[in-house]
Amino acid sequence: MTVTADDGVRLWASASASGRGEPLVLCHGGPGLWDMFEDVSAMLDDTATVVRWDQRGCGRSERCAGPWTTDRFVADLDAVRRHFGPGRTALLGHSWGAQLALAYALAHPERVSTLVYVAGTGIGPPDDWHPAYEENLLARLGEDPERLARWRELPKDDPERAVFQWSVEFEDRARALEHARRMADPWFGINTECGAALNAETRRTWGTPELYAACRDLDLPVLIVDGAHDIRPRSAVDSLERALPQVRRVTLPDAGHLPWVEDPKGFREAVAAALG
């Protein structure tokens, strides 16, 4: 299915056939990646009409020249929301997608019923957490020195490099490569230009007093879901939790950055309760 943004760019989208109730729109991570929420859609489609989509220039969406800004992606998300239902919708965002879903909720709170914020990095400046993330990334890759050396020499958009890097996101080290290979199948290619631009924007704009104030004024229920073993320090999310007036936080003790993979039961129970 195709959703056309207000500037004419075509976005790939899909809605669960067996869903019911108001839409739940999923925002995938990256930036520069594609929807990997097939498992999430399957576990939640009895509670909501689950909508998946690929962000502009990524995955199955039209290749385009951007623009790569949060405002543009918020407008794209609004086009997806309008396509599947004119009223309010629930949002679930993962990693960068959690940041996008939060940005949408801040821009259009009257259009959001519930926000589920999964494995994000809070609203402080990236310097609060990124150095520790890089240290943890290299430590996990270093569990296999040959793999680390191979990862260093591959280009950033290479699928083998992505699988190695994504494998560090799982607490179950015995199955980490298996999980990462599933993420890369099918492979749509990483939009590195998109990722670089949006990450640079985050470094310039996140952690401002205006952002903290906007979150304090966000009058809608928010569920924060973390995996306890995410290599991004979970303390980074404390800034968001402290600011929000209506927030509940669930930490899944045996999961990493993709908690629905390693604790599907705990993840489904937490999200289903938030959706009501």
Tell me if 132 is assigned to some domain. Answer: no
CA angle, 30 then 134 then 179, to 5°: 55
What is the edge-to-edge ordering of all strands in the sheet holding 2-4? 2-4, 10-15, 49-53, 23-27, 89-94, 112-118, 222-227, 247-252
Residue 101 phi/psi, 5° resolution?
-60, -40
Which range marks the domain in which residue 44 is found? 2-126+188-275
Domain count across the chain? 1
For 174-202, how does the pLDDT look when each residue is reduced to its tens digit (9 = 90+)? 999 999 999 999 999 999 999 999 999 99
For the chain, give the percent of residues with pLDDT over 90: 94
CATH of the domain at 223: 3.40.50.1820
Omega before residue 264 within 30° of 0, cis: no
Rg (CA), the chain: 18
- Predicted local distance difference test score (pLDDT) of residue 210: 96
For 6-31, how does the pLDDT look when each residue is reduced to its tens digit (9 = 90+)? 999 999 999 987 667 789 999 999 99
Tell me if 159 is assigned to some domain. Answer: no
CA 151 centroid distance within chain? 23
Per-residue pLDDT, averaged over 213-226, amounts to: 98
Tell me if 169 is assigned to some domain. Answer: no
Tell me if 24 is assigned to some domain. Answer: yes
Tell me if 247 is assigned to some domain. Answer: yes
Question: 140 pLDDT exceeds 90?
Answer: yes
- Predicted local distance difference test score (pLDDT) of residue 102: 98
Question: 216 pLDDT exceeds 70?
Answer: yes
DSSP code of residue 62: P
For the chain, give the percent of residues with pLDDT over 70: 99
For 85-107, how does the pLDDT look when each residue is reduced to its tens digit (9 = 90+)? 878 999 999 999 999 999 999 99
Instruction: Name which of 191, 189, 187, 208 is nearest 199 in CA terms.
Output: 191
Q: Which of 13-27, 45-59, 229-243, 261-275 has the lowest mean pLDDT?
A: 13-27
- Predicted local distance difference test score (pLDDT) of residue 86: 75
